[in-house]
Amino acid sequence: MKNNKTAFYLITVYVIMQLSGALFAPLLFRFINGQEGMVEQQAKLLASGWWIFISMSVAALVSFAIIRKDKSFLNNLKGKKSSIPVSIGWGILGFFMVLIGQAIAAMIENALGIKPGSDNTATFVKIAAAAPVAILSIAIFAPILEELIFRRVIFGSLVQKSNFFIAGSVSAIVFAVIHFDFTHILLYAVSGFIFAFLYYKTKRIWTSIISHMLLNGFVVLVQLNRDNIERYQKYLETLSNSQ
C-alpha cells in the first residue's frame, strides 16, 4: 500500500512538471524578452531551457524526498540485487546495447520510408544550444525522472502481475508515446525495452538510469557538434582521396 502511494506521488510530480511549462515558461519568456537587445526567438529558447532546468531539478529533488520516506520502494523486484560494480558495468554496457538497438530500429524505419532525424531531439538541441543549463536536465534529471516513472512505477508494477516481456513492452510503448514523436516511436520503444531489461537484470534502477544518462548525454553532445563532426568527416575523405 505504501509503495502504491509513493508511485502515485511520483506520477503526480511528473505530470505537474510536464504541464508546468505551459504556465510558467511564457511568464519567463516575458521577463527575458523584456531585456534590452534580446531577440524574440532567442528569448523563447532561453525561457524554455531555463524552465526545463528549473522544473526538472525541482521535480527530481521532490521525487528523492518522496522515495526517502519509503525505503522499500526501490526494492520491489524479486531476486538478489547485482553488486554495485556489476550494476555500473551493466549500465555502461546498456548504453551500447541501446545504440545497437536504435541502429536496428533506424534501419527498419528507413525500410518503411521513414526519414531519419527526430523533431523532438532537434528542438531540445536548439534549446540546449541557447541555454546550456538545459543540458543538465536532458542528461541528468530527465533520465532519473523517466526511469523512476516508466521503469520503477510502470514496469516494476506490471512485472509483478505478468511477465518480463509484457511488462517491458507496455512500459516501452508508454515511454515512447510520452515523447510525442510518433514518427520515430520504434526508436523510443526499443530504448525503453532495453532500459527495462537492465533494471530487471540487476534489480537496481540506477543501472537503467546510468544507461539513459549516457545515451542522452551522447545524443546532445553529437548533435551540438554535428557541424564539426561533418567537417572532420569531409577532411578524412579528402585525405583518403589524395592518397
Per the CB < 8 A criterion, the answer to whether 195 and 106 are in contact is: no
Given the residues 109, 147, 179, 184, select the one marked as catalytic.
179
Q: How many Cβ atoms are within 10 Å of 22's Cβ, its own excluded? A: 8
Active site residue 179: yes
Nearest-5° Cα angle at 154, 151 to 158: 110
Burial of 180 (0-12, 13-18, 19+ CB in 10 A): exposed
Is 212 a residue of the active site? no
CA distance between the termini of the chain: 70
Which residues touch 151 (CB under 8 Å, ≥6 apart)? 171, 195, 196, 199, 205, 208
Burial of 125 (0-12, 13-18, 19+ CB in 10 A): buried
Q: Could you tell me the three cell numbers for 168?
A: 517491458
Active-site annotation, residues: 146, 179
